[in-house]
Structure 1
Amino acid sequence: MENEQVPYRLPVLSRDLLDSIIFAMEDQANFYFLDLKDEVLVREDELEYLDETDEEERDRRFIPIPDWEPSDGFHLMEMFANRVRNPLYRSRLLAALQSGRGVFRKFKDTLSETPILERKWFSFRDEQLKRVVVSWYREQENITQLLALSDEETELTEDILLEDFTFETLEGPVTEEIMEMVQSLVTELESGSEEDRIASVVLMRHLELDELDHFYLARAQDGSLAAFLSYTMLADYLVEVPLFGVKTEYRGLGLFRLLFDSFSRQMARFHYQKVVVTLASGFLGMEKLFAPYGAKEVTKQLIVDTKSWNSTHPSSEEAFL
């Protein structure tokens, strides 16, 4: 029993923990680890004072947070400057970044001259750092629902996403880029639990047999596909969404919420009053997204193990004996 390993899991990525990780990433004087046992951040120099002496145990309990170098910060400032629509502000920010020594201070001084632009920078920086942390979290453990943001924080996220993504309707057969995302989703499910693997079969069945030819897409600024949903008109008032997906690096940011919001409003303009959304396996947690809006359960799929049924349920043949 003494050698039995204690199972550790990532804690829920609350807003407080997210902010702590971002703060620690930007601390260039120290390096931090996430303590999976106590769910706090620990500096590298503090590890030697802990009671644990088992190196293997320590490696499992403490995981390094994402690395964030000055070059990463510079790249982020460059990204923001290039996205500023006003040519005067854009050129001034880029000039500050190209001025040589002290570029960080010059960039911040330039921003401080325009409070609105400065607030947008802080929102952009926080959002990009959040993406890094969320992506890192997903690499550590396959977690579907990561953040429980307040309404105010969700509005901030969606405001930023509106600047980063465009939405469009596509009619016609499945395109290569949609198929690539579906295959990626299926591959992800196939490497998960038994329920995930069964869900992958169900999703592929939709794609192969239902002849999906209506899609609603979200595209990143570079034009690449970031998220999609397929839909089918079932009646003059009813639409079904049997399949959807979000690219890995954009998950946990509220993109599907924004995609569905845009889609729902468009459907309403065409007088469709109801939408049926199919949730499979790992996406069952998304019920929470729709619950506040009066979503109702109209169908449910269950997985029944034949061996369990046959061994515990009386044989129907015995009814004739």
Structure 2
Amino acid sequence: MTFELTKSLIEDIIFSMEDQDGEFALDASQGCVISLDSMLQSEIEELDENDSLYSLPLWTSNDGFEIMEDFAESVRIPKVRSELEQVLSNGRGVFRNYKNLLNKYPHIEKQFHTFKEKKMRAVVLDWYNSLRESWGLEKLNQDFDDYDDLIQQDFEFIPYNQTKDYDCILAEAKKIAEEIKEDFTGEAAKAIAHFWLRRFELESGDSKQLPFLGIVARTTAEDFAGLLLFSDCSSFAKKVVALTAIFVNQNFRGLGIARELFSRGISYLKSSGIQSIIIADSALPDFLEPLIARCGFEKKGSFYVLEKADI
């Protein structure tokens, strides 16, 4: 007997797969997961004889541990990744300790649950496609990845406000400068951090008077998460802006905030009448080059340019 794999059914299957204490199966006649623990043996046999009963995908604690390992490797924040890997290497109480550590980083925790759910949905889909093959049906290609984006739920993206945001942005920029120092030694570390701030015009006392346009990302609790900032060039080139700074708070990296900042920033600049966006090669981290290429920027010499027709 065939059945349709719906989003709600996937959720029920995953929930039951993780319950290591009970025995469950899918009743195709009802299109739902049932507990075999509460059924008589004769009832189970009847369903089985009618081809209505299907065993759920096999899922063990080893599978759960493997997901935790894979997720730890994917975390881009070195401090958090190191802590997760340390928990995994300790052995005893690993599942509880892993959960407790994630509780310290709410946004990383949400990222883990999304990662885990996607992996488990893939297992369910493989299982369902095996059944479809036995029914003589084609496999499904959909991945049911229609859950709300965590970024949309947990972050707000608002236009940069010079009066409200400047002091916070300057403080965050100085934190980034301290991070930069860790990659160098001695006087060179100080000089490079100083150059980073000066390059973004954020160390000068006059910078507070400079005209900026941009987008600030904050959590729903108003914590700073990231910034995309452009300098207004209207004094010598009307309707043109140049990238001043792009950075994401260390606690929120790896969530796609930089991508969202660029997407929203370009739309915001377009609505503000901007016709050209310029990014100096030296102002752009290497890992962002693929992102701005997808946004339509074209490299010309040592600059990336997005013209009016592409904005």
TM-score by length of 1: 0.46
TM-score by length of 2: 0.47
> Whose radius of gyration is greater, 1 or 2?
2
